[in-house]
Amino acid sequence: MNIDYDVLVVGSGIVGLGHALAAHDDGLRVILIDRDARPVGASVRNFGHVCATGQSRELRELALGTRERWLSVAARTGLPIRQSAGAAVARAADEVAVMEELADKRDAVELRTAAQIRADLGGVVADDVVGGARLHDDLRVDPRTTAPRLADWLGNRDGVEFRWRTAYLGIEEADATGARVRTSGGAIAAGRVFVCVGHDLDYLAPAVADDAGMERCALQMMLTEDPGIRVPPAVLTATSLLRYDAFAETSAAAALRTRLELRRPELFAADTNIMFTQRPDGGLLIGDSHRNRLTVSPFLDESVSALILGEVEAVLGRRLRIRERWQGVYAARPAGPYLTARLAPNVHACSVTTGVGMTVGLELAARSLAGTLTS
């Protein structure tokens, strides 16, 4: 087969960009296509929180690799990235106990007194805060601008081409020498093809997505007006401690779960992870809730938005005004945090299947390109 590129990447989210970046760094000729005119998927709808401190096992390894890659991206592109950028705030003794247990095992977790965590969060947390922790392996990027800026930077490198508004439609021919795929802009032939379309893999390879038990997870998010305070780290709360494995796997987490299930069942009914980060213009990105379905309802539930807003207001001890609301969607499956699959000779799919693409995506992509992932 006559090939025009070494690597064709489908999708301009962080996973697709990570493949293109790694391929470019390997000196390969790369083309990236996306059906949209710019990145508008999960990679721009999130908190921009690289939550490396809270991961365990393989995700921790991928997160630490991704962390290094983000720092290298920042150095090469000028993208602003904040370091030591995570904090967890505790409003009850059982939350402190979870943080203490992880701090015993992990140097990146630094316990903070109530006064210290108040200062870390710009001096604004509510009176009932009893302590907290800094999460030093964490990074923070601005989610609205990071993927578009990385795409711009990559698109200006020699040997990298972007084609926007070009949808991947399927495989025309694939053999040991490469693959030719159909797109809405004509056929493209490449030595290897990586389909990085996140939760939309079921549109393109339904059997692969179904076999993996892949669904969509829909999340409710909001952006506030600038409340006039400055909160440098991404801030996690009690529900986050039950979501991120390194915290959730502590023995102390059981008591926290029992208390919240008993006293705050509404937080579980909406499957919340109450957290927030601040955008450069001062607006707070606040969220989130989770609902898994094959096809998700596009309609936001106002009672869930009110619950999230109330929780963040309680942590900050102040009222917030909402400027925007939106739904984010990512791929989810019970059996693993990512999915890689061979769709045909030299055609591979790669999706993160839990809510950590910003945290693990760059290293996952590099390993996917290198063919060193195991599942």
Ligand X SMILES: Cc1cc2nc3c(=O)[nH]c(=O)nc-3n(C[C@H](O)[C@H](O)[C@H](O)COP(=O)(O)OP(=O)(O)OC[C@H]3O[C@@H](n4cnc5c(N)ncnc54)[C@H](O)[C@@H]3O)c2cc1C
* Residue among 332, 313, 330 nearest 322 (CA): 313
- Rounded CA-CA distance 150/147 in Å is 5
- Examine residue 227 and tell whether it contacts ligand X (CB under 6 A): no
Q: How far is the CB of 2 from ligand X (least distance, A)?
A: 23
Tell whether residue 198 is a contact of ligand X (CB under 6 A): yes
Phi then psi dihedrals of residue 10, to 5 deg: -105, 120
Tokens matching residue 11:
């999708």
What is the H or E stretch that residue 105 is in? helix 93-105
- How many Å apart are CA 323 and CA 246, to the nearest integer? 33
Minimum distance from residue 14 beta carbon to ligand X (Å): 5
Could you say whether residue 15 binds ligand X (CB under 6 A)? yes
Nearer Cβ to ligand X (31/97): 31
Could you tell me how many residues of this chain bind ligand X (CB under 6 A)? 43
Of the pair 241, 329, the CB lying nearest ligand X is at 329
Task: Establish if 304 lies at the interface with ligand X (CB under 6 A).
Answer: no
**Looking up tokens 């710019």, which residue turns up?**
38
The answer to whether 91 and 126 are in contact (CB under 8 A) is: yes
Would you count residue 200 as binding ligand X (CB under 6 A)? yes
Q: Residue 212, interface with ligand X (CB under 6 A)? A: no
Contacts of 231 (CB under 8 A, 6+ apart): 121, 122, 124, 276, 277, 278, 284
Between the alpha carbon of residue 28 and those of residues 19, 20, 212, the distances in Å are: 11, 9, 31
- Residue 36 as a binder of ligand X (CB under 6 A): the answer is yes
- Of 8, 9, 19, 34, the one binding ligand X by CB under 6 A: 34
The answer to whether residue 193 forms part of the interface with ligand X (CB under 6 A) is no
CB 362 within 8 A of CB 355: no
Binding ligand X (rule: CB under 6 A), the pick from 5, 70, 162, 168 is 168
Residue type at 328 in one-letter notation: G
54 forms part of the interface with ligand X (CB under 6 A): no
When asked if residue 288 is in the footprint of ligand X (CB under 6 A), the reply is: yes
Q: What does the DSSP assignment read for 283-331?
A: PEEEE---EEESS------HHHHHHHHHHHHHHHTS---EEEEEEEEEE
273 contacts ligand X (rule: CB under 6 A): no
Please give the Cα distance from 124 to 114 (Å, whole number): 11
* All residues at 6 or more sequence positions from 287 whose CB lies less than 8 Å from its CB, including other chains: 47, 219, 220, 221, 222, 273, 274, 275, 276, 308, 328
Q: Where are the beta strands (DSSP E) in 147-199?
A: 160-163, 168-175, 178-183, 188-195
Contact between 351 and ligand X per CB under 6 A = yes
Determine the interface stretch with ligand X among 42-50, 100-108, 112-120, 262-270 (rule: CB under 6 A).
42-50
Q: Which x/- pattern, by CB under 6 A, does the window 309-348 give for ligand X?
A: -------------------xxx------------------
Among 28, 30, 33, 98, binds ligand X (CB under 6 A): 33
Per CB under 6 A, the list member of 69, 188, 355, 369 interacting with ligand X is 355
Asked if 41 is part of the footprint of ligand X (rule: CB under 6 A), the reply reads yes
Is residue 290 close enough to count as binding ligand X by CB under 6 A? no
Q: Which of 7, 8, 9, 10 binds ligand X (CB under 6 A)?
A: 10
Which residue lies nearer to ligand X by CB, 125 or 235?
Answer: 235
Positions that interact with ligand X (CB under 6 A): 10-16, 33-36, 39, 41-43, 45-49, 51, 167-168, 196-198, 200, 204, 219, 221, 287-288, 328-330, 351-352, 355-359, 361
